[in-house]
A and B are shown apart, each in its own frame.
Chain A
Amino acid sequence: MGRKLLLEKAHVEGIRYYDTYRREGGYASVEKALKNLSPEQVVEEVKKSGLRGRGGAGFPTGMKWSFIAKPEGVPRHLVCNADESEPGTFKDRYLMEFLPHLLIEGLIVSSYALGSNATYIYIRGEYAWVADILDQAIVEAKNNGWLGKNILGSGFDCDIYVHRGAGAYICGEETALIESLEGKRGNPRIKPPFPAVKGAWDRPTVVNNVESLAAVVPIINMGGEEYAKIGVGKSTGTKLISACGNINKPGVYEIDMTISVEEFIYSDEYCGGIPKGKRLKACIPGGSSVPILPANLLLKTAKGETRMMTYESLGDGGFATGSMMGSGGFIVLDEDQCVVRHTMTLARFYQHESCGQCSPCREGTGWMHRILKNIEYGKGQKSDIDLLWDIQRRIEGNTICPLGDAAAWPVAAAIRHFRDEFEWHVNNPDECLKRNYGLAHYADPRPVPAATA
């Protein structure tokens, strides 16, 4: 049984409410931090813990906190990124829905460390009921003296506000989130300046994922060094994984990053194997934006070692043979799944969610989607596969924010590892239409014009 730090009390009845949460030992980290530790010491503990940002990029949280500018007389802000919109990722929702006070506790400690008196939770608009739960938890926390003026007599003031997004994936990107929080259109900003210097309302701002901020609670309770002992190498602590796709037990799991991918997929404690005894075909291990891995590369690394559920092992060998931990959205595909169809679905998503600011992303994502649609529905040509490769190559790395990369990587990885499947679609157009899953209306009815020189 893996060690649980975040979801340890998730199944206690009534843990969503303050009284139960407090009875189970909640808010101990706030007491410890505000009474015994200085803000710098809290940052130091987080640094010692080796906690890496759980939103996707995996940047060390303590280091990110230490970058925040501290100009005299200028307020600072902490913003919790709860705009969880990555397809396949639903761990933050689980955490906020069942353990709202855990997040609020983490936010109070983090706000204390960063000197933020006004802290925001930017939550995905579609999580309406979760926002209500958080609002209620904030009221409870405030009524019990954990928020507001002079918390625990420490002289530290803190208020937390829930801000509902209007439903754009791009608002999960930290600078777009800040723009949206300020009431503007959610377009990513060009960096530098980084939010740690000039963020919300031009004030120094730290944006952290829900899971990262919740993890601050066990870090303070048990000490950074103890927390760092869990896990392997630089993948310290526990990680929430939202598993879905062709598995027997989809759900949110907390792993301590010492288990292998194979164990995670097949053990009864986690995913419980693949339904109907089908074979594993591929897996997207970190949310839809990370490269897909075929089964043979998923269970073994480029070095031939067992692939572990860690940041390093999942990325072993770069994108040619590895992928990323990302946000922890673990999507499993069995042998019956069509990679071309999945790639097309993802391309449609990224096309729809591109903010339209920079040219390669705005135009390129739509182009990729149309080509993939043609290939999927038996209207593609062999040259389309090379064209797709070329388009994704010219999007990747050339955009303002990582959405361009997020759109390009799935396409690149699918072609890299499953080119034969793309060619099968091109060579067997009639077969493609037969296996259309009743979605023929979605097919582009327009004929493909002849290729021009």
Chain B
Amino acid sequence: MSDEKKMFKVTIDNITIEVEPGTSILNAARMIGGEVAPPAMCYYTKLKGSGGKCRTCLVEVAQGSTADPRPMPKLVASCRTNIMDGMVVKNITSEKVIDARKGVVEFLLINHPLDCPICDQAGECHLQDLSYEHGASGTRYQFPRRTFEKHDLGPYIQLHMTRCIMCFRCVYTADQVTNRRVHGILDRGEHAEIATYIKTALDNDFIGNVIDVCPVGALTDKTFRFKNRVWFLKPVDAHRDCPKCSGKVQLWYRGDEVFRVTARKDEFGEVEDWICNDCRFEKKKTADWVIEGPSKIDRHSVISANHYVGAHKPTEIEPEVMGRPPRLLMDIHSVSQVNQPSVDLSLLPGPAHSDDFNGKEK
């Protein structure tokens, strides 16, 4: 008898692959990669039961299976629908899907401010990418948006509920990764909010992971937030012997200073290993870590700006030919106090302020 597993054939956007039974449409599409993979705001591979809520990964099933070729009557959530043998799926090739996704983005942005220029998640925000790829250029919503006061969830985490898109990932994380869940959803419908019962703190060893799973800037790291923009930092893979977690992390450097520690993430923005609070919040010195080398970041990511690995800079020929350094059209330091070479931004305790550049006491 053959030990070979029976594989299911699936065609997604006219590309056919074979996958193991039990694979979801989303994961099959991720195997193909690129634009064929639907976006997902609430699905998280490592969190059991997640997915199906945000509706950004809706796809059209044009053929249910070889045995039953009828199309599915409604669009389905690709993260929660398993492949059948001979299934034909349309993602970006379906006008219905594109239209529905545009609608979902519009709904999500009703109560999520597009304040990317100031939001701490900018550059790492899945909703920012989604709205760029699938959203409309303007809003049709003309009513006041809901607002919330910022909520400190203990010493490490701040909740900015205004930006929350109710993906439930943090709730699943607290439920499945930590030993105690003290937060969840309060209220119903558009009044629903992530909250703790009677403003308590989130304070167990692995709770910091809720920051990593948040696809938008609702849950932020209080030891890092607004200290720097992510694209100014250089991610480096590192590890340490940690008694609680795998200790495999990314250190985010600016200069010689570690600004932030996060779990390592894959190409779909999902963490590879959960890390503990000690590694994330307490170990911010290079000496605490064994450095493995620069993290591999997708070249198109904003994080990769200025951090090209193996880049070949063209040789400056002017010094050789002219015998002097290249002439600048304008020296920024002569007209602005910002970015003075004498001020080391990475040593500033908080966000840079004009006083930092003109030598005045704060």
Assembled-state Cα–Cα distance A366/B185 (Å): 18
Q: Which residues of chain B have C-beta atoms less than 8 A from A448's C-beta? A: 142
Residue B80 CB within 8 A of the other chain: yes
Question: How many pairs of A and B residues are in contact by the CB < 8 Å rule?
Answer: 97
Q: Are B75 and A352 within 8 A (Cβ)?
A: no
Partner of A453 from the list B138, B144, B189 (CB cut-off 8 Å) is B138
Contacts known (A356-B166, A398-B103); A351 close to B190, Cβ less than 8 A: yes
Q: Are A356 and B107 within 8 A (Cβ)?
A: no
Residue B141 CB within 8 A of the other chain: yes
Q: Which residue of A lies closest to B167 (CB)?
A: A359
- In whole Å, how far is B97's beta carbon from the nearest beta carbon of chain A? 10
Partner of B55 from the list A168, A356, A358, A387 (CB cut-off 8 Å) is A358
Q: Are B103 and A360 within 8 A (Cβ)?
A: yes
Partner of B144 from the list A352, A358, A446 (CB cut-off 8 Å) is A446
| CB interface residues, B 114-151, toward A, < 8 Å | 138-144
| CB interface residues, A 420-453, toward B, < 8 Å | 446, 448-449, 451-453
Assembled-state Cα–Cα distance A208/B110 (Å): 37
- In whole Å, how far is A174's beta carbon from the nearest beta carbon of chain B? 16
Q: Which residues of chain B have C-beta atoms less than 8 A from A362's C-beta? A: 107, 166, 189-190, 192
Partner of A398 from the list B100, B141, B166 (CB cut-off 8 Å) is B100
Q: Are B104 and A190 within 8 A (Cβ)?
A: no
Q: Are B55 and A360 within 8 A (Cβ)?
A: yes
Partner of B190 from the list A168, A356, A387 (CB cut-off 8 Å) is A356
Give the number of residues in B that approach A within 8 Å (Cβ atoms): 38
| CB interface residues, A 384-401, toward B, < 8 Å | 387, 394, 397-400
Q: Which residues of chain B have C-beta atoms less than 8 A from A370's C-beta? A: 143
- In whole Å, how far is B123's beta carbon from the nearest beta carbon of chain A? 23
Assembled-state Cα–Cα distance A368/B54 (Å): 19
Contacts known (A359-B107, A387-B140); A398 close to B189, Cβ less than 8 A: no
Assembled-state Cα–Cα distance A370/B140 (Å): 13
Contacts known (A364-B107, A394-B103, A451-B142); A356 close to B54, Cβ less than 8 A: no
Q: Which residue of A lies closest to B187 (CB)?
A: A356
Assembled-state Cα–Cα distance A446/B110 (Å): 18
Query: Chain A, 143-180, contact with B by CB distance < 8 Å: what is the 0/1 string?
Result: 00000000000000000000000001010000000000
- In whole Å, how far is A404's beta carbon from the nearest beta carbon of chain B? 10
Q: Are B110 and A367 within 8 A (Cβ)?
A: yes
Q: Which residues of chain A have C-beta atoms less than 8 A from B184's C-beta? A: 185
Residue B77 CB within 8 A of the other chain: yes
Assembled-state Cα–Cα distance A170/B192 (Å): 14
Residue A353 CB within 8 A of the other chain: yes
Residue A365 CB within 8 A of the other chain: yes
Q: Which residues of chain A have C-beta atoms less than 8 A from B100's C-beta? A: 394, 398
Assembled-state Cα–Cα distance A363/B143 (Å): 12
Q: Which residue of A lies closest to B165 (CB)?
A: A359
Q: Are B111 and A363 within 8 A (Cβ)?
A: yes
Q: Are A400 and B52 within 8 A (Cβ)?
A: yes
Q: Which residues of chain B have C-beta atoms less than 8 A from A261's C-beta? A: none
| CB interface residues, A 186-222, toward B, < 8 Å | 190
Give the number of residues in A that approach B within 8 Å (Cβ atoms): 34
Q: Which residues of chain B have C-beta atoms less than 8 A from A337's C-beta? A: none
Contacts known (A367-B141, A397-B74, A451-B142); A359 close to B53, Cβ less than 8 A: yes
Residue B191 CB within 8 A of the other chain: yes
Partner of A449 from the list B107, B142, B190 (CB cut-off 8 Å) is B142
Q: Which residues of chain B have C-beta atoms less than 8 A from A364's C-beta? A: 107
- In whole Å, how far is B188's beta carbon from the nearest beta carbon of chain A? 5
Q: Are B107 and A363 within 8 A (Cβ)?
A: yes
Query: Chain B, 207-229, contact with A by CB distance < 8 Å: what is the 0/1 string?
Result: 00000000000000000000000
Q: Which residues of chain B have C-beta atoms less than 8 A from A446's C-beta? A: 144
Assembled-state Cα–Cα distance A365/B191 (Å): 12
Residue A355 CB within 8 A of the other chain: yes
Q: Which residues of chain A have C-beta atoms less than 8 A from B55's C-beta? A: 358-360, 398-399
Residue A354 CB within 8 A of the other chain: yes
Q: Which residues of chain A have C-beta atoms less than 8 A from B89's C-beta? A: none
Q: Which residues of chain A have C-beta atoms less than 8 A from B140's C-beta? A: 387
Q: Which residues of chain B have C-beta atoms less than 8 A from A453's C-beta? A: 138
Residue A357 CB within 8 A of the other chain: yes
- In whole Å, how far is B95's beta carbon from the nearest beta carbon of chain A? 13
Partner of A355 from the list B107, B144, B189 (CB cut-off 8 Å) is B189
Q: Which residues of chain B have C-beta atoms less than 8 A from A356's C-beta? A: 166, 185, 187-192
Assembled-state Cα–Cα distance A121/B139 (Å): 45
- In whole Å, how far is A426's beta carbon from the nearest beta carbon of chain B? 15
Q: Are A354 and B138 within 8 A (Cβ)?
A: no
Q: Are B190 and A363 within 8 A (Cβ)?
A: yes
Q: Are A357 and B107 within 8 A (Cβ)?
A: no
Partner of B108 from the list A363, A366, A400 (CB cut-off 8 Å) is A363
Residue B40 CB within 8 A of the other chain: no
Assembled-state Cα–Cα distance A354/B191 (Å): 10
Q: Are A398 and B54 within 8 A (Cβ)?
A: no
Q: Are A398 and B104 within 8 A (Cβ)?
A: yes
Partner of B53 from the list A185, A358, A452 (CB cut-off 8 Å) is A358
Q: Which residues of chain B have C-beta atoms less than 8 A from A398's C-beta? A: 55, 58, 74-75, 100, 103-104
Q: Which residue of B lies closest to A381 (CB)?
A: B142
Contacts known (A354-B190, A359-B108, A394-B100); A190 close to B77, Cβ less than 8 A: yes
Q: Are B53 and A357 within 8 A (Cβ)?
A: yes
Q: Which residues of chain B have C-beta atoms less than 8 A from A366's C-beta? A: 189-190
Q: Are A185 and B107 within 8 A (Cβ)?
A: no
Q: Which residue of A lies closest to B74 (CB)?
A: A397
Assembled-state Cα–Cα distance A360/B108 (Å): 8
Assembled-state Cα–Cα distance A374/B249 (Å): 52
Query: Chain A, 326-358, contact with B by CB distance < 8 Å: what is the 0/1 string?
Result: 000000000000000000000000011111111
Q: Which residues of chain A have C-beta atoms less than 8 A from B139's C-beta? A: 452
Assembled-state Cα–Cα distance A398/B104 (Å): 9
Q: Are B188 and A352 within 8 A (Cβ)?
A: yes
- In whole Å, how far is A191's beta carbon from the nearest beta carbon of chain B? 9
Assembled-state Cα–Cα distance A375/B169 (Å): 37
Assembled-state Cα–Cα distance A14/B196 (Å): 50
- In whole Å, how far is A398's beta carbon from the nearest beta carbon of chain B? 5
- Most chain B beta carbons < 10 A, residue from A354, A360, A446: A360
Q: Which residues of chain A have C-beta atoms less than 8 A from B58's C-beta? A: 398
Q: Which residue of A lies closest to B193 (CB)?
A: A356
Query: Chain A, 224-248, contact with B by CB distance < 8 Å: what is the 0/1 string?
Result: 0000000000000000000000000
Q: A190-B51, A398-B55 are in contact. List 16 more A-B contacts (CB 8 A).
A: A351-B189, A355-B188, A355-B189, A359-B54, A359-B55, A360-B104, A363-B107, A366-B190, A367-B107, A394-B106, A397-B74, A400-B52, A400-B53, A448-B142, A452-B139, A452-B142
30 A-B contacts (beta carbon < 8 Å): A168-B188, A170-B188, A190-B51, A190-B80, A351-B190, A353-B189, A355-B188, A355-B192, A356-B166, A356-B189, A357-B166, A358-B54, A358-B55, A359-B55, A359-B107, A359-B166, A360-B107, A362-B189, A362-B190, A363-B110, A367-B107, A394-B99, A394-B100, A394-B103, A398-B58, A398-B100, A398-B104, A400-B53, A452-B138, A452-B139
Chain B residues proximal to chain A, CB less than 8 Å = 51-56, 58, 74-75, 77, 80, 99-100, 103-104, 106-108, 110-111, 138-144, 165-166, 168, 184-185, 187-192
Q: What are the nearest 5 A-B pairs in CB distance?
A: A394-B103, A356-B192, A354-B189, A363-B107, A190-B52
